[in-house]
Each structure stands twice: as C-alpha cells, then as structure tokens.
Amino acid sequence: MDWEIRPVDGDNEEEFQGWATTLATALSRGRYSEENISTIDRPNYQWERSLGAFDNGKVVGTAHSYRYQLTVPGGKLPFAGIGWVSVRPTHRRRGILTALMIRQLQDLHERGETLATLGASESIIYGRYGYGIGAIKENWRIERKHTAFSAPIEAPGHTSFVSPSEMREIFPGVYERVAADRIGMAVSRPAFVWDSWLADYEQLRGGSSPAFYVTYEEDGRVDGYVCYRTTDDTLMVRELMATSDAAYASLWQFCFGVDLKVTIEAPGHAVDEPLVWMLADSRRLQRLRTDAMWIRLVHVGDALIGRGYAQNGRLVIEVHDPVCPWNEGCYELEGGPEGAECRPSSESAQLVISAADLAAAYLGTVPFSTLKHAGRVEERSSGALARANAMFSTSREPWCILHW
C-alpha cells in the first residue's frame, strides 16, 4: 500500500481542492460539482471527521461523517451519518475504499459512537463492511387522473402556502415530532440542512421550479408540511411530513389537486404509509421498493443495550465481525420494554449471525426467521428464532429520509 489515510486539512486550499475534485470526479452527478462542494457544502464540513486517501500527497479517496441522534425502539442513540465516500476512477480496485471504511469504523469506535448509517449508491458495496439494510423505502409515481380517494376525507384544518423564511421557522419542529415517533429517523436535522432548503440553490434543482412550501394547520398548530417542485407536467414531492391522519390526507389531497400537472412523483416513502389504502384505484400507484438506509452496529453490546424490546426475553447471540474485531464474540442479551442488559457470555450460542445481518434485524426491518430461511442465521437452540422475532419486532416499519 503506497497511500496514506488521514483527516483532510480543510484549511489547506490544495487539500480541499483535491477533496472537491475527487468527489466531483468519482460521483459525477448533481450536487457533487466542484462549484457546489466549494460554495455550498464546504462551510458545513467537520474536518476532524473527514478522511482522505493520499497518493503521493494527492487526494484520491474521501469519506466523512456527521454526528446525530437516531430514533430506535424505545429511545434514541448517537450515530454517525456517513457520506462523501468516493475513490477516483484511476485508483479503484486497489483497496482504497476498504482502507477508508475500516479506518472510519475504528475512529467511530474510539469516539464512542454506537451506530453508523448511510445511503448506498451501489447496494453491493457496504455489506462487506458490516452494514445491513436498516430501512426500506418506496418511490411512488401516479397520474393525477387516478388520484381520487375511496372516501371523502374529514379534516377540520386547512392548508396554506408559507414563505421560505416561514418554512425555516416551522418545518424543523414538525419534522422532529414525526421523527420522535418513527424508528430509523434522525431525531433532528442540523441547521445547515434547513438553511440549504432556505437557500434553494438553483444549481441543485435539476431544471425544476423553485421549491413550494405548504403547511396543514389545525387549532392554531401546524401538524404537517409538504415541500414540492414542478416541471411543465409533473409535481415532485420532495418531502411530506404529517403528525396526524388529517394532516396526511389533506396534504396528499392538496398535491393531487394542483392544476395543469399530469403526474405526481414522490420518492422515499415508508412502506407502511396509508396512501395506497386511501386511493380508490390503488393499482395506479406505481411503487418501487428499495433500500433507504444501511446501518452498522459500531459497538454491538451498546447497540443491543440502547434499544427497547417488544417483550421480555433472553438470548445468547454469537456475532461474527471480521471488520470490527472488538464486536466478535458471544453476547447474553436480556431485554424487554423497560430496557436491556447485554454482556459477554461463555454460554453456547442460541443464534449465530454476522454483524451485517444483526444490523438488518436491529431496527425490526427483517425478522430473524426470514434471515434464517435466507441462510444468514443459524439457530442452535429450538425456540430462539421465535423469541428473537418477538423481542425485536416493532409496531411500525423503520423509515429514514437521508438529508445529511
């Protein structure tokens, strides 16, 4: 290996330009132009959390993270939101990405961060580093002529357009109310994310209109919002958040009622949202299901302690984790709705699982029994799978909208 992995000095103009050029060259899309990285993203980097791969002093690979809080069953935990992962096309297939990801996990472990999450541009990459699919999303598309509801909605509130400055004041509070009740969501977004919404940079619109912001208000309280853009014949929902059924139905009814639009597109929605059951002709809603967020248990023991469980139970789980050797071993988990204890164990394992597959089951995204049928979990004690399913189950599907 003839490259060096270390944090990037963001105050060093040559290193920053190398970082920006590498991102723009490797990712080759949208916001990753050198201009956007320099003018929009640069002020928000926490350079001590950055990593660069240097080949003879030149940046050829990048990785970064931000620290957040994640809603997990029964509480919240610190996590690292991973992004800006790239390797120059001239330096791929040399192990640089692996070196970056392993170093990043080591750094997160040393900082005491329990979880890491990311959105994967290529789904085949991150399982090898112990990430599992932590949340599923659906991308929706429907023609406006097929958006009639099966029954009239009853909503005592009203929808209103708000200005960008009003959006900046109102939307974060609504988002946080939704996130507090939805496993997989970042508890809050940092100010710079909302500030980027406020700026609404033209170079990031992809040829669409400026953003429109609409709220649903009832009894003097804002219970939901939608942000959308338009092209000549399409309305594109960027984000719709609602804290009540009335807000949810009213905001969708608003989107479906915008004149002169043929199609509504809405990526990134939870798989258990009720819209499909509200439509008179639900088949007309095109639904593409895919991974939304990948999650990594940086510290298995702390992660298992840090969530609540649907019912009381005890499991002895053997975890295999060649990437993070501090996680390797057997864990005795005793948990329930009021909390959990987890400790290393010398008992015989009841379940054997990889760190990546345990991550996939951690938020309730997939039952342990499904993983067993897929050949990804070994049950060594009768009844352990059923007990794990019951303990890790959740009343709602995990969901995550990535905007870090």
Give the tens place of pLDDT for each residue, 139-159.
999 999 999 999 998 899 999
Tell me the pLDDT of the chain averaged across its residues.
95
Give the strand pairing for 351-354 and 313-320. parallel
- Look up residue 325 and give its amino acid: P
pLDDT for residue 395 is more than 70: yes
pLDDT at 105 over 60: yes
Mean pLDDT of 93-113: 96
Q: Are 209 and 199 in contact (CB under 8 A)?
A: no
Q: Is the pLDDT at 349 greater than 90, yes or no? A: yes
Q: What is the spatial distance between Cα 33 and Cα 205, in angstroms, rounded to a whole number?
A: 13
- Which residue in this structure is represented by tokens 């510290």? 299
Verdict on whether the full-model pTM lies above 0.85: yes
Give the angle subtended at the CA of 180 by the CAs of 331 and 270, to the nearest 5°: 85
Q: Which of 5-14, 139-148, 310-319 has the lowest mean pLDDT?
A: 5-14
The domains of the chain are located at 3-113, 148-256, 306-392
When pLDDT is averaged across residues 246-259 and rounded to a whole number, the result is 98
Q: What is the mean pLDDT of residues 246-268?
A: 97
Q: 223 and 157 in contact (C-beta within 8 Å)?
A: yes
pLDDT at 61 over 50: yes
pLDDT the model gives residue 111: 94
In 265-291, which positions are buried (b, 16+ CB within 10 angstroms) versus exposed (e)? bbbbbbbebebeebbeeeeebeeeeeb
Rounded to an integer, what distance in angstroms lies between the CA atom of residue 55 and that of residue 300?
34
Q: Is the pLDDT of residue 402 over 80?
A: no
268: left (phi over 0), alpha (psi -120 to 50) or beta: left
Output the pLDDT for position 34. 84
Crossing angle of helices 355-362/384-392, nearest 10°? 50
Q: Fold match between 148-256 and 306-392?
A: no
pLDDT of res. 56 = 92
Examine the pLDDT at 403 and tell me if it is beyond 60: no
Residue among 154, 103, 96 at smallest CA distance from 125: 96
Confidence label for 29 from pLDDT (cuts 50, 70 and 90)? low
CATH fold of the domain at 3-113: Aminopeptidase (3.40.630)
Domain 306-392 sits in CATH at 3.30.1050.10
Q: Which fold has domain 148-256?
A: Aminopeptidase (3.40.630)
Please tell me the predicted confidence (pLDDT) of residue 199. Answer: 94
Show the DSSP H helices in 269-322 as ranges: 275-278, 300-305
- Please report the pLDDT score of residue 203 as a whole number: 87
Backbone angles phi, psi at 252, to 5 degrees: -65, -40
